Amino acid sequence: MQIMVMNKKSQLKIQEMAFMLVAVVILFVLAGLFFIGISYRDLYKSANIQERERAVSLIAKLADTPEFSNGDGAIDTDKLLFLQERANYEGFWPVASLEIRKIYPEESGRKCTSRNYPDCDYFKIYDSGVSRDKVSTFVALCRKEEKDGYWYDKCELGKIIAGVEQKTENE
């Protein structure tokens, strides 16, 4: 009789232990799932940030190409005036559209032409007309100016805005 009572007690203890282990495992699994969930959310977020940073780097590099650069890390706006809407350059740059816009000092919203330059705000280099996302970054826009017989570089702040072709699921 006593052995049977002892056996039952042991069984109860084992059951108790098993329940405890199951509870601990469930707790750790939940904590793990929570942690993985947060990590995945961060992973997607950082993947998007990386993609955007890559696009920004690419268009910043465009500004350093000889077609745009003044040799000091800025865009030469005198060059832009002659680069605008030239059919020969279509497909030359790996972007769907390219625009350069002055943002500081004051902007008037006028497109630059040989008649109003430099009292204007933006240059439309080219536009392929394909649907696109816009990516932009800051650039310095410089031109040569003369005052009291001296020539100097007059630099303003602008943005280079590129259209990137949208990829759909079928592509």
Partner 1 sequence: MNKKTNSHFEFLLKNKQILNSKRSQHEIVGFVIIVIIMVIIGLFLLVFYIKQPSIEYENQNIANFLKSSMLLTTDCVISQPNYENIEDLIKDCYENKKCLDDKMACEVLEDNLSELISESWQVGPDKPENSYSLVIYYKESNIGMPGFEPAEPSEYNENTESGYHEEILTLNEGECIGSKTGAEHIIHKSPGKIIVNMEICYTS
Q: Which of 51, 78, 104, 113 binds partner 1 (CB under 8 A)?
A: 104
User: Which of 79, 118, 140, 165 is the binder for partner 1 (CB under 8 A)?
Assistant: 140
Query: Rounded to whole angstroms, how far apart are CA atoms 32 and 90?
Result: 52
29 SS3 class: helix
Binding mask 25-64 for partner 1 (x = CB under 8 A): --------------------xx--x---x--xx--x----
And the tokens for 108? 């008037």
Edge-first strand listing for the sheet containing 97-104: 75-76, 132-147, 150-165, 97-104, 122-127
Nearer to partner 1, 91 or 149 (CB): 149
Report the interface residues with partner 1, using CB under 8 A: 24, 45-46, 49, 53, 56-57, 60, 72-74, 103-105, 137-140, 142, 147-148, 150, 152-158
